[in-house]
Amino acid sequence: MKATNAKTRSLKRAMLPDELRGHITDVLALRLSNSQTAQTLLSRVNGAAVNDVLSAALAVAREQVGQRVAELERELAEKEDECSQLAGELQDLRDGLKNLLEESR
């Protein structure tokens, strides 16, 4: 029995930070309730140190926020370009209307 426990302990190793971040990312993608998320995450990290889990969760949160900010900045730039294009088209229409009115006089 002692040999089995020693063998099990030797097979069990600390999770790498990348592994923890991967588990956290996977669990967050499941769109579970807060309590379900916590339960699922705890079952996945399999006894990892709380500080390691928290550090990994913060890293994932920062990464996801950074990605979302980058997405929003791209969308904003696209919308600004679209607004600029529409403003140019509107000015062209105004100029055309002004020319038509002057010609009709």
Structural domain spans, the chain: 15-103
**In contact, 53 and 38? CB cutoff 8 Å:** no
| pTM attached to this predicted model | 0.68
Residue 2: pLDDT over 80: no
pLDDT of residue 4: 52
Q: What share of the chain is helix, strand, coil (3-state, %, to 5)?
A: 85, 0, 15
- Three-state DSSP at 28 gives helix
Model pLDDT for residues 47-103, shown as the tens digit of each residue: 899 999 999 999 999 999 999 999 999 999 999 999 999 999 999 999 999 999 998
Model pLDDT for residues 11-54, shown as the tens digit of each residue: 567 889 999 999 999 999 999 999 999 999 999 998 899 999 99
